[in-house]
Amino acid sequence: MRKISLIERVRLFGRSGIDVLAVLGRSTLFLFHALLGRGGIGGSFGLLVKQLHSVGVMSLVIIVVSGIFIGMVLALQGFNILSSYGSEQAVGQMVALTLLRELGPVVTALLFAGRAGSALTAEIGNMKSTEQLSSLEMIGVDPLKYIIAPRLWAGFISLPLLAMIFSVVGIWGGSWVAVDWLGVYDGSYWANMQNSVTFTGDVLNGVIKSIVFAFVVTWIAVFQGYDCEPTSEGISRATTKTVVYASLAVLGLDFILTALMFGDF
C-alpha cells in the first residue's frame, strides 16, 4: 500500500473543502433561481396543489401514526418517572412541552426527509435521466419554474402543517395512555398543560423550527435530484444523500435553534 505524504494529505483535504464549497455555491444559486429568479412560485396553481397532495397529504398516515405512538410512549415514560416524585399529574405538561418544543418539529422533519424528500429526489433524478428536463428546455419551458419551484413551495408549506398535526395527535395519544390507562385525572392532564404552555415561548418556537427544517429538507431533496448523475446508480446515491444530509442538517439545526430559543444567553 502506497504511503500518502503529508503534502498529499493537505492537497486532498483542500480539494475536499473546495468541492464542498462548490456544491454549496451551486445549491445556493439553484435555490435563488428556483424561488426568486426564473422560477417564482411556479407556472400554475394546479401544479402546486398537485405537489401539496404528493408530499403533504400522502405523508399524513406515517405522521399521524408516529405522532400517536410517540405521544403514548412519552406519557408512559413520563408517568413512570414523575410518579416517583409524586408529580404524575404533571404528565400532560411534560408531553405537551416535549412535543411542541422538540419532538414534533424534529421527528416530523426526519420522517418527511425519509418519505417525501427521498421521493422528490428520485422523481427529479428520474426526469433528468430520461431527459425530460432537457426536453422541456428544448420546447422553451423552464424546468425550474414548472418542475422545481412547485415542489419547493409544497415542501415549505407541508412540513410545518404536518409538524402541527404530529404534535396535536401526540398530545391526544398521551392523554389516552395517561388518563384512560394510567388513571391520571383528566382535568389535571389538560389544566397543567394549559397553564404551562405559552404561545410565544413554546408553540411559536416549534413552528419556527418546523419552517426552518422544511426549508432545509426540501432544498436538499430537490437539489440532489436536480444535480445527480443521470444514471440509476446516480439516482440511488442522490436519494441516500438526501436522507443522510437532511437528517444531519435537522439534528444540527435543532441544537442551534434550541440554544438560541431556550438557552440563557
Q: How far apart are CA 75 and CA 30, in angstroms?
A: 44
In a domain, 90, yes or no: yes
In a domain, 123, yes or no: yes
In a domain, 13, yes or no: no
φ/ψ (deg, to 5) at 52: -60, -40
In a domain, 166, yes or no: yes
Give the closest residue to 108 by CA, choosing from 258, 217, 241. 217
In a domain, 18, yes or no: no
Any idea of the CA torsion for 17, 22, 24, 27, to the nearest 10 degrees? Answer: -160
Q: How many domains does the chain have?
A: 1
Contact in structure between 195 and 257 (CB atoms under 8 Å): no
In a domain, 93, yes or no: yes
In a domain, 141, yes or no: yes
Q: How far apart are CA 142 and CA 147, in angstroms?
A: 8
Domain that holds residue 251: 33-259
In a domain, 249, yes or no: yes
Per-residue pLDDT tens, the chain, 265 aa: give them.
Answer: 566 677 777 777 777 777 777 777 777 777 777 777 655 554 567 888 999 999 999 999 999 999 999 999 999 999 888 888 878 788 889 999 999 999 999 999 999 999 999 999 999 999 888 888 888 888 878 888 888 889 999 999 999 999 999 999 999 999 999 888 888 888 888 988 888 888 888 899 999 999 999 999 999 999 999 888 888 889 999 999 999 999 999 999 999 999 998 876 5
